[in-house]
Amino acid sequence: MGAGPQETYTVQQQPSVGSCHYRYEQGEPLEDPACTPGAASPAVTQENLGSTICRKGGYTKNVRPPESVTRKEKQLNAASYGYKGSLGDAEYDHLLSGVTLTPW
């Protein structure tokens, strides 16, 4: 899908049901790197955090695909992990390996 905003979005294919497995670091569950999407936006840099992802009023709502797309991706990705809980209790995060941004 790439960094938004875009004119159109499509539901991205997800790994097959039950093929993903959580890993744990310091007792906390983390995504399976082979099963979790992630893309760094070239529009976000260490220098512009205050006006992009850390700005008051939010950043995500301006670049995120519509809920009709993210809801379906979240359902499919949850199935990839075998997750059967409430999707309202699940955070649909994106793994960005090797990316560290310091907010302040």
Q: Is 66 part of a structural domain of the chain?
A: yes
Is residue 76 situated within a structural domain? yes
Task: Count other C-beta atoms under 10 Å from residue 26's C-beta.
Answer: 5
Per-residue HEC secondary structure of 8-22 comes to CCCCCCCCCCCCCCC
Is 18 within a domain?
no
**Would you say residue 69 lies in a domain?**
yes
pLDDT at 18: 93
* Interatomic CA distance for residues 1 and 95, integer angstroms: 14
The set of residues, in sequence order, having a beta carbon less than 8 Å from that of 1 and lying 6+ positions away, is 9, 10, 12, 37, 39, 65
Q: 32 CB contacts (<8 Å, ≥6 apart)? A: 20, 21, 22, 23, 81
Q: Indicate the pTM of the whole model.
A: 0.68
Tell me how far apart the alpha carbons of residues 31 and 77 are, in angstroms, rounded to a whole number: 11
Q: State residue 20's pLDDT score.
A: 92
Alpha-carbon span 27 to 7, nearest angstrom: 40
Q: Is 33 a domain residue?
A: no
Q: Count the domains in the chain.
A: 1
**Boundaries of domain holding 69:** 44-83
What was the pLDDT predicted at 37? 64
For the chain, 104 residues long, the average pLDDT of each consecutive 10-residue run is: 69 90 86 76 84 82 82 90 85 60 49
Is 58 inside a domain boundary?
yes
